Structure 1
């Protein structure tokens, strides 16, 4: 069981209720919980806030923020700020 799903269940939230609180569909949240979807760091933080947990407690860096990581690497390659 994923840590995201476990955190949701510990609150007693159904998939539908949690998705409504986060502002996404239940299907999309299910895909996040099963690892079928990568999400932005902003959405990961929103989920952590709704679940009242630390971001690092339910997500690993590889599950979110790939775009931000790519931007850092692009900046390093070009020498820009």
Structure 2
């Protein structure tokens, strides 16, 4: 992006968002995409997104989307 992490953080926080929330949102969008478009396990997705455990990832995912990763995957795959 051509700027340091700290500069990016300041710009994001200057717009009223928190750096952490932007990072979590990006991780969750990627998780949702991986759940729908791949057959990767929840554990492997958690590892790829740098969560320490699958359960920690599942809690974060559920907080963001209101359902567990597996329920999300099954609900989206039933429309395809």
TM-score (norm 2): 0.33
Larger RCO (alpha carbons 8 Å, 6+ apart): 1
TM-score (norm 1): 0.33
